[in-house]
Structure 1
């Protein structure tokens, strides 16, 4: 881990410094207590058992029991404190990371895999938690135990102490060589886990599972998943084998030195140069020393894994949002909407977000960045306060992009967008997004109850507010028919509702929010004409007095708008009222004739089917 990484980690942990200090004190105390029984045993044997002093034996035996009880209580307290500290560290880090992710723009999420993001939020944060509460705690305990036990052996017999200390350089060389290899393996393991999680999250979502059932080959999908699983398996096994090899080498070294120490101590006792009690104490202390000696190399490997996890978390935390609020940003002053010569092109996926969160690299495939395709080319229009502007055009004309730019989900390439006469780039983001309410064609619903989805717009909304909003959106009858009404769980992305019901529920959420500017982006596209007309009529009182931008394919949806914009290839090619555009030769009249012909064809087909059924 680089020096600045340690600085950043210590800065983050500064909030917990008191608890860390208490935990370190307990760890140090437990390490000292672990050495005490060896000296008590030496005195019990040399001063009590061998001379035949039973009183001293009982006294020292009681002292051993008391030391054991204190050690057990202290160890339990240490375990509780470390567990508590670890969970609070991970909770703080997860919350910070979650909040930082929500500050990112749409561009960040457009090219990132959801599974890879969740992997950082869960697996990597857990790795940092283990680094702080398990690895570092073990290192402190091992170092203190080595110092105390080493000093004790040095007092008992300096020759034996030197023999034990000779192991240190060998241990260092072995762990240093293994640590760099394990760091690479850990990166690969975390990347493989993210790929596996991403595929599972996508393929096992309601929509993904349905697509696989309808269009996919289950065997092919299973083979792809198996490849990801095997990739994770292979890198995990390599790490385990590396750890096993290191453990075996250390165990062999410990066995060789232990044999030598036991033999030497036995000879010294036989010659009378060493007491039996001292020999037993040295054997006990030797066990205390070899425990940390074998643990520290493992800690070094765990430290390498923890470093990788922290670097991956910090990689996201260092990524600055593409959309930032100007230091002099002000609240929205009004409800007029003005686009002036606005241009925009979605950037290439390599130009935004983090490469490590994008799709896994494929061998021998190089995708050139190229020039971003222009989506909007000099769009200019104005929506006065309280007026409705309709936007129509064929798919890909750039209609929905207007809504993304108005809320600053993306920033424009050039030109100017004003709300209330103020540039949105100098407007407070919170104020802008509370002023503008958007319902998109693909209405997103969370895996929760109807009530929870609606209260996203207004958390304190009561039952009457929710019911009124549902009635305005023409969805209350459908909600009443659900098993538990407002408390019915909708499933992932509202899978238990039809497309039209999801759209109307999203509109009810908009009504609860009651924004001053409303954007309906194909918000009724999945409704039939009759239901759509009833909904728009019901929305009329709510929309009255609000500035509205209604984006639609069906011209009937925007027929009564104060102004209608016709877009083609990212430009406004016509503008006017319905009657003006119908009277003029152009795109709008052509679209009107096309849609009318399509509707007539459907009507004729319906009559023919009914007549056939009657016969």
Structure 2
């Protein structure tokens, strides 16, 4: 049951080679912009790095003086001062290094925080269509694995570039000052180092992209196989062994990708170590040749080889930054892909201010048309309805007739392609989403409860609600007595997705949650269709309390629950084919009468 490539990329179109190149260029600019708000801190870090590098370059010159003057001449006073100078250089550079690490880490973590929150906030604004096209595990993987994979680059790239570049430049200057002839010999390491680095960088980027996709697949398997619904499904269908095989295969592919990535870097490091180890030998050879013998002091030679050996770490660090940045572009491209997603249902640029406490709840749909993306058939066409404040509308029809789609337009889960939906004469698209959520409350068939206490599940609808208000809402929803009978009362954990409660109990908790918000318009989307008769009666009584004084839209398969509605609209293939009261529709002997039979 290994996921197919199509399954892995569901909802995401593959990029062409040209688009990948463009994505890379955009990513480099955008990566730089992530650090723009932190310019003062980065300037301070750069200054510290430059100062530290300059101070550190004093050590080889102190060493040369020790070998060429203090020791041969037996000058103890000079030797003591030189040794103290070496210790002071080490102490100052170490202290500066601590300050630099603190500032750079703080900047990096702030950038990571901004990335995480920006992605989460942007995805919260996406319409339901995005989440129906995208696997939950894929979304989680991008927020955790992809952004987590960026951490080393984001937190250390800028400082690593500045530190290593400054050290390399300062070391090179010091080497030239000691002996420009030997400096030319050291330059031979650069061409192979750059060539190997570019090759490894390209390889690492390809492997990183494959690894993140594999991690997303692994997350999907965990989400689908270890959620309580997934476990129940696996146990009832006997698919547990197949899920284990799928997880094992995905994990094994990750092992292979990690090995390939690490080996690519190790081979490069081994090759560079050999090259850098050979250079001092060449320098000693050059210093001892007949043409150059005696032109260099022992102190100069020792100091130079010490500098040349110290060049290996910053030069490799600088090249490693290039490798890390290139390989991490695959991560940035995946994150920027989410950040660039258009928001289908967004707040208006100039919202109409509508006080939820003063809304009457007069709802109108005016020649509304809507079609789902990718579908050639309209889900709703030419819908016109007028629901006066405080009255009830029932929507009935066969499955797929457009009832839930219409309800989704009222709560603005979607925007109509044509026509408009208004509350008290104001187009819903002109309202802030937060204001609309305070006006329209929804209770659906599938009640979602958070993995926390009963109290916090109810308070989720209104964070400022007092315990007394929570209990009053629970009493109105006829669920208070059951809650106080639980082991910890309102502080009882509901469990994953509320599976410790029955369907009717979850529905009444949802009603209590909605009562706390006190919306003027209420949408009941087949909220009792999966309940037994006795439970349905209890929930219906709670609904009656909830609906008092509110404009109510009820969607139901059981027509007995909507017979008292002020008006009933019968939908068929996205169109209203009949409308009226229960008795008038029965007398017409049309579609409604057929459904009621």
TM-score with structure 2 setting the length: 0.90
Write the distance in 2 (CA, Å) between the matches of 1:328 and 1:84: 37
Matched-pair contact (CA < 8 Å) for 1:441–1:523: yes
CA contact (8 A) 2:390 2:551 kept: yes
- Residue 357 of structure 1 is matched in structure 2 by none
The alpha carbon displacement at 1:216 in A equals 4.0
Establish whether residue 14 from structure 1 lines up as the match of residue 40 from structure 2.
no
Alignment of 1:163-562 (within 5 A): 163-265=185-287, 271-332=293-354, 334-348=360-374, 371-562=375-566
2:585 counterpart of 1:586: no
* TM-superposition CA deviations, 1:375-413 (whole Å, max 9, x none): 323333221110011222332222111111112211223
Pair 1:116-2:138 in alignment: yes
Instruction: Give yes or no for contact 1:35–1:288 (8 Å, CA) kept in 2.
Output: no
**2:105/2:156 contact within 8 Å kept:** no
Shift of 1:152: 0.7
**How far, CA to CA, are the matches of 1:258 and 1:477 in structure 2?**
84
Distance in 1 (CA, whole Å) between partners of 2:269 and 2:371 is 56
**What's the TM-score once normalised by structure 1's chain length?**
0.87
Q: C-alpha separation between the residues in 1 aligned to 2:107 and 2:291? A: 48
Q: CA deviation at 1:329?
A: 3.8
CA contact (8 A) 2:568 2:581 kept: yes
Please, which moves more after superposition, 493-502 or 523-532? Answer: 523-532
CA contact (8 A) 1:269 1:275 kept: no
**CA displacement, residues 22-46 of structure 1 (integer Å, 9 cap, x when unaligned):** 2222232333343332222222222
- Whether the 8 Å CA contact 2:201–2:327 is kept in 1: the answer is no
Unaligned runs of 5+ in 2: 1-22
Give 1:266 shift. Answer: 5.9
Distance in 2 (CA, whole Å) between partners of 1:22 and 1:515 is: 53
CA distance in 2, matches of 1:376, 1:114: 28
Q: Secondary structure at the match of 1:418?
A: strand
Q: Matches of 2:253 and 2:222 in 1, distance apart?
A: 15
User: How far has the Cα of 1:271 moved from its partner?
Assistant: 4.4
| 1:82-118: CA deviation from partner (whole Å, max 9, x where unpaired) | 2222211111111122111111111111101222222
Displacement after TM superposition at 1:203 (Å): 1.7
Larger mean CA deviation between 414-423 and 454-463 belongs to 414-423
Is the CA contact 1:145–1:288 (under 8 Å) kept in the aligned structure 2? no
Question: Do structure 1's residue 51 and structure 2's residue 73 form an aligned pair?
Answer: yes
Q: Secondary structure at the match of 2:462?
A: coil
The 2-side partners of 1:262 and 1:105 are apart by 69
Shift of 1:335: 1.5
Match of 1:153 among 163, 175, 187: 175
Offset at 1:160? 1.1
Q: Matches of 2:241 and 2:449 in 1, distance apart?
A: 31
1:136 maps to 2:140: no
Q: Is the 8 A contact 1:130 1:306 kept in 2?
A: no
Deviations 1:299-356 (A, max 9, x none): 22101122222222222212221123444442456522222333333223xxxxxxxx
C-alpha distance in 1, partners of 2:37/2:234?
48
User: What per-residue deviation string (whole Å, max 9, x for no partner) do you get for residues 32-79 of structure 1?
Assistant: 343332222222222212211122222222222222222222222222
Whole-angstrom distance in 1 between the partners of 2:173 and 2:64: 16
Deviation at 1:467, TM superposition (A): 0.6
CA distance in 1, matches of 2:506, 2:170: 67
In structure 2, do the counterparts of structure 1 residues 438 and 390 end up closer, same or farther at CA, with 3 Å as the change threshold?
A: same
Of 566, 575, 590, the residue aligned with 2:570 is 566
CA distance in 2, matches of 1:282, 1:335: 84
Asked if structure 1 preserves the Cα contact closer than 8 Å seen for 2:208 and 2:328, the reply is no
Who is 1:24 aligned against? 46
Inter-partner Cα distance in structure 2 for 1:523 and 1:571: 23
Give, in whole Å, the separation in 2 of the partners of 1:447 and 1:30.
51
Name the SS of the counterpart of 2:451 in structure 1.
coil
Report the Cα distance in structure 2 between the residues aligned to 1:488 and 1:286, rounded to whole angstroms.
Answer: 67
The answer as to whether partners of 1:127 and 1:310 remain within 8 angstroms in 2 is: no
> Residue 509 of structure 2: SS of its match in structure 1?
helix
**Count of aligned pairs:** 571
Aligned-residue Cα RMSD (Å) equals 2.4
> Is the 1:125–1:313 Cα contact (8 Å) retained in structure 2?
yes
Residue by residue over 1:461-488, the C-alpha shift from the partner in whole angstroms, topping out at 9 and shown as x without a partner, is 0100111111111222222233322222
Comparing 58-67 with 503-512, greater Cα deviation is found at: 58-67
Q: Could you tell me how far apart the structure 1 residues matched to 2:499 and 2:520 are?
A: 30
C-alpha change, 1:379 and 1:39, in structure 2 (3 Å) is same
C-alpha contact 1:503 1:526 (8 A) present in aligned 2: no
Whether the 8 Å contact between 2:498 and 2:506 is mirrored in structure 1 is yes
Q: Any unmatched runs of 5+ in structure 1?
A: 349-370, 594-615
